[in-house]
Amino acid sequence: MQIILLGAPGAGKGTQAKRLSAKYNLLHVSTGDIFRENIKNSTDIGIIAKSFIDKGQLVPNDVTVEIVKERLEQEDCKNQGYLLDGFPRNIEQAIELDKFSKIDLVLNIGVDINKLINRITGRRVCPKCGASYHVTTLNGETLCKACKTELILRDDDNEETVTKRIEVYNKQTAPLIDYYKKQGKIATVDGNLGIDETFNQIVKILG
Ligand code: AP5
């Protein structure tokens, strides 16, 4: 099964993707994670990506489509279902994706805009294992519960950049809801609920 997780920044795509990939044995393909790995390793793609990510803008389509295409052509993706987290992010990317992947379902995680900034600026991530937390549930703890590494705030998780990312989502990514509605592939999930409740809704949809 090939699934897209659609939603605004902070909607909970990454959180749900980790749980779903564990439950359904799906590969989690996150363009944000691929870019961050490239930034960490100072690759050419990483240098280009950072200049856009830090401003809350989308990385150009040619770069983004190519990294996703390359990833999906790898052997594991040919033999196993996957979850696309953060891709596509505009109509052009969706049109390109249709040329090299057959998507079965698009899960649209809807969250009220006023909740997003708090979720993102309060997020703390583990730079080693990728686990993600929110300050409200950490109770002052600064180490990753899984691997005991010091948690960090992502460079693009400040209020100014988040506001820009939400603006970009509204303008460029939200039109994908209609695009996939027309293909009869979309299912909407209420992401305003807690993490478990959101997950349970998705499990019901997947059956
Ligand atoms: P990316 O890393 O994909 O960021 P994003 O889409 O902005 O999404 P986030 O990771 O911020 O949020 P999320 O929905 O995964 O939320 P999470 O589960 O972590 O992309 C970063 C950048 O890379 C982009 O801005 C762009 O520049 C570039 N990029 C990436 N893909 C691209 C593409 N296709 N084209 C061009 N450029 C691209 O949850 C957030 C917080 O909320 C956490 O603290 C979590 O614990 C908490 N939380 C989650 N769910 C709930 C819940 N139900 N209730 C309460 N709290 C919750």
Ordered DSSP codes for 38-83: HHHTT-HHHHHHHHHHTTTPPPPHHHHHHHHHHHHTSHHHHHS-EE
pLDDT at position 50 = 97
Per-block mean pLDDT, blocks of 10 residues, the chain (207 long) = 97 96 97 96 97 98 98 94 98 98 97 94 94 94 96 95 97 98 97 98 96
**Is residue 154 flagged as an active site residue?**
yes
**Is residue 89 flagged as an active site residue?**
yes
Atom of ligand 1 nearest to the CA of 32: 2
Give the domain ranges of the chain.
2-113+172-206
Q: Which of 6, 15, 92, 111 to mutate to test the pocket of ligand 1 (most atoms within 8 A of CB)?
A: 15
pLDDT at position 65 = 98
Which residue's structure tokens are 């080693």?
128
Q: Which of 16, 53, 55, 119 to mutate to test the pocket of ligand 1 (most atoms within 8 A of CB)?
A: 119
pLDDT at position 179 = 98
CATH class of 2-113+172-206: alpha beta
pLDDT at position 70 = 97
